[in-house]
Structure 1
Amino acid sequence: MTSRSAGRDGAAAVASETAATDREQPRQRVIEAAADLLAREGRDAVTTRAVAVAAGVQPPAIYRLFGDKDGLLAAVAEYGFARFLATKHLDPDPRDHIEDLRAGWDLAVEFGLANPALYTLMYSEPASRTSAAFKAGMEILMGRIRRLAAGGRLRVGEDLAITLIHATARGAVLTWLTLPEDRRDPALLTTLRESMIAAVTTEEPAVQDPGPAGAARALRATLPEQTALSGAEQQLLREWLDRLAADG
């Protein structure tokens, strides 16, 4: 490649990046204007005309950038998940896994109470569950659940645990927001959180020895008590568990 052609390629790359930035700036400005209107005046105030005025763009730009109002609301919901994700802190090795779960639940509820209109939109838009920020947040929660499971502290299956955590957090926020201010008792939030903790975790580890070997030994000991597997299936599983237990 000659220096001249390399220079042309470099210039083209810079021009492409500049064009992408130029497109992103008005898009982000519109999203932030819509989020601000949503927070101050509610969902009904988020019209394409009002958002265009607030963002300093022409109304046709809204349709060019988002397709329609539903597309704009989906983008605002994604913006909400990104903001929520930015508040999360993942400790890869917390000293107390149950306290780590409590802290994560509290953080989710606090975000919802501080951003009621945005939070409601986030969980009412069907497309929100496919957003990158939502998936990243779910990965953090799944990490917490897997650490609990690995430590023998998970009472239910991982999928059910995640559902219970989400259901109690959303229920806490939405119930709190519907109550008159004089009936908003903080004990409601604490009780819901501790009910979730009791449903999802165990007070003592189900497996005393951490790691696969301890779990294998615990499961190996309970095999004779279960009837879900056939004799041949039990024998095969027993061989696998013996091999895992021996590695410990």
Structure 2
Amino acid sequence: MAVDGPDAAAPDALAGSLAARLPMLGRAAVVVPAVGFYRPASLRLEHGRTDPDARYTDWLDTGALGREVLGPVGPGGSGEFLPALWDLARDRSARLPRRPAPAGGVLLVPGSLLQGVGLAFDVVVHLRMAPAARSRRTPPEQAWELPAFDRYDDEVDPVALADAVVLADHPDRPALVLQGRFG
């Protein structure tokens, strides 16, 4: 399951909350943040540290996320996934061992800009923020990323692709909108 949304919408927090609740419902859960599959700084920041187009297209290594996580836990996969490929803080390989996916469990992948790039998720929850809310809630040092999310909304239309949408303009008042097979 993808939990897709800008950092200001806190997809990591929602994925963590879901992972904490699922065992009470009889389902084990594992969180594998997409940020663990960002490319090395030499590739990610090739066009500078504040290029919104690079943020949109160059940061996430979709091939590695598919190959190391989604493929192995999908049908016919080995059942063992890599929890992270790259350590952003040290800008080097995370060198983590593969882990077994829990039988009958749920794998949650929180991150941003996850749709429309060919990743094989069974379910996608998109945390929708209006551009004005994104602007208000994005820290000033990350404001350069805002055009990437505007482009994502225009080109991918993540709301239309998602199975469920959480309106996340107000963190204390989220609203769930079920779509597709759930709506």
TM-score by length of 2: 0.27
Larger radius of gyration: 1
TM-score by length of 1: 0.22
Higher normalized strand content (fraction of residues): 2
Higher normalized helix content (fraction of residues): 1
